[in-house]
Structure 1
Amino acid sequence: MIKTGLIWSGLAIAAMLGSLAWAWSTLPAGVDIPVHWGPNGQADGFATRDKALLILAILPASALFTSVLLAAAPYLDPFKENLRRSRQAYTAIWAGSMVLMAALTAGIALMMIRGASGATDSNEFVRFVMAGCGVLFVIIGNYLPKTRKSFFLGIRTPWTLTSDYTWEKTHRLVGPLYIVAGLIGIVIAFAMSGIWLVFSFVGTVLAVSLFGVAYSWWVWRNANDRDEGADYVV
């Protein structure tokens, strides 16, 4: 599990460093480089070449930090054995996150280079980012029902962490809902534009997440294996 995840991380970070090197060798000095784009796809933040490269470097650094955290999690989680049994889900989500970050880095590097030559519209890039997020949520939703109780994976509420029954019921229902949310995200990524594209996808995912939290409490109320009382500490 950890070895496979680190391989994916290594490949993704190498690709991200490649994107950074591409931007470093291509971006001209003395011009404003776009570093931020609004929901409508228009550049609304600019910086010097050096600052733009520094901002781009945050992404591989973040991927490295995330990889270290994910590699350490199996040793830190109180439910180590459960996390080991959920290794397929853990590895898939780890790999999917790394691939998405690598694609995001390449896309931002491309938009910086295009912006340096005068282009300011990145609406198509925003679409692909949203579609990529949709694919990641399809992956997450597919594996959620196969997970076991863990502090680092899944829908972690006081109720799912204190009842195996609640954990299983919640993830069996919310997993398919995340798949639906991901598919909706992929569709609206190419069917909508502007700020509504972002709001629609984020709103759908947030609604599913909040439903999962509420549903876990509702199931927990009647769970026979729930832990509660003054002696229990989450």
Structure 2
Amino acid sequence: MPDNNNSENNQIITRPVLFISIALCVINLTVGAVVYPHLPEKVPTHWNFAGEVDGWGSPFQGAFLIPLIMIGALVIMYFLPKIDPKRENYFKMGKAYSGIALVMMLFFTVLQFGSLGSILGYFSINNVPKVIMLGVGAMLAIFGKYMGRLKHNYFAGIKTPWTLANEEVWRRTHKMAGPIWVVGGILMMAVGFIPAQYKLGLFIAIMLALILIPAAYSYMIFKKLEGKR
């Protein structure tokens, strides 16, 4: 386990990923500042599954909300491991935690450019939900790729009473859940191309499967291991 301050401060999220993530935050803030004077008085901030705008906000929200969320997410991901009682396990994850952080930053960047591009008329505003669905699906699939590498901790991963109580349950649950999340992510991307009337139901079904299947599996494994004692 790393025992020096430099390692603890810099290797949970690797330096290259931290640099890229900060750069993406700066780029998105800069883009927001550049387009802010050109935004209308009301900008779309939310779309339904049919591609219709059902939420509006101020130009400030349109330009800066996503970059501010990015900054908040990066700060949280950087500092949470430092207060996690299992913080030493983050060093055993290899590049998995860093990969998840980078994927989140890229996802928010896609959202920022997609929403601003539609507001400014570079492409149809009705395409934004499709972009979001593709981004969510890709993010879930990549999370699934890293799932099996996540070590026992209190912040990142599938946290049920049974995975948190037993490291072996955690390990088996994440090993099982990884491929399911990859498949779920691919299916989610496909949902972006189907007729609007089916999107909400399929979105909910996929998300429930990604949550409930690993949760039920963790319970069964926990009971099985407890029965051997």
Q: TM-score, normalised by structure 1?
A: 0.83
Instruction: Measure how far apart 1:109 and its partner are.
Output: 1.1
1:188 equivalent to 2:198? Answer: no
Which amino acid is the alignment partner of residue 211 of structure 1? Answer: I
The Cα offsets for residues 98-134 of structure 1, whole Å up to 9 and x where unpaired, read as 000011011111222239xxx9x63322112101111
Check the 8 A contact 1:86/1:147 in 2, yes or no: yes
2:22 matched residue in structure 1: 10
- 1:106 & 1:201 partners in 2: Cα distance? 23
Query: 1:76 corresponds to which residue?
Result: 83
| Alignment match, 1:179 | 182
What CA deviation, in whole Å up to 9, does each residue of 1:177-230 have, x standing for no partner? 00000111122212x13253244134202222111111111100122699xxxx
Counterparts of 2:131 and 2:30, CA distance in 1: 20
Residues 70-219 of structure 1 aligned to structure 2 (within 5 Å): 70-114=77-121, 122-190=125-193, 192-219=194-221
**Alpha-carbon distance in structure 2 between the residues aligned to 1:32 and 1:153:** 36
Q: Distance in 1 between matches of 2:137 and 2:165?
A: 30
Q: Where do residues 52-71 of structure 1 align in structure 2 (5 Å cutoff)?
A: 52-71=59-78
Q: State the secondary structure of the residue aligned to 1:36.
A: strand
Contact kept, 8 Å, 2:94 with 2:149, in 1: the verdict is no
Q: Determine the structure 1 residue equivalent to 2:7.
A: none
Query: Shift of the alpha carbon at 1:81?
Result: 1.6
Query: 1:145 deviation in Å?
Result: 1.0
The percent identity for this pair of structures is: 26
Q: How many residues align?
A: 217
Q: Which has the higher contact order (CA 8 A, sep 6+)?
A: 1
SS of the residue corresponding to residue 34 of structure 1 reads strand
Across the aligned residues of Structure 1 and Structure 2, the Cα RMSD in angstroms comes to 2.4
Q: 1:122 to 1:95 in 2, by over 3 A?
A: same
Asked whether the 8 Å contact 1:56–1:108 carries over to 2, the reply is: no
Unaligned 5+ segments in structure 2 are: 1-11
TM-score of the superposed pair, with normalisation by structure 2: 0.85
Partner Cα separation in structure 2 for residue 111 and residue 199 of structure 1? 26
CA drift of 1:32 comes to 4.2
Contact map agreement 1:19 1:109 (CA 8 A) in 2: no
1:45 aligns with 2:55: yes
Contact 2:43 2:62 in 1 (8 A): no
Q: CA deviation at 1:13?
A: 0.8
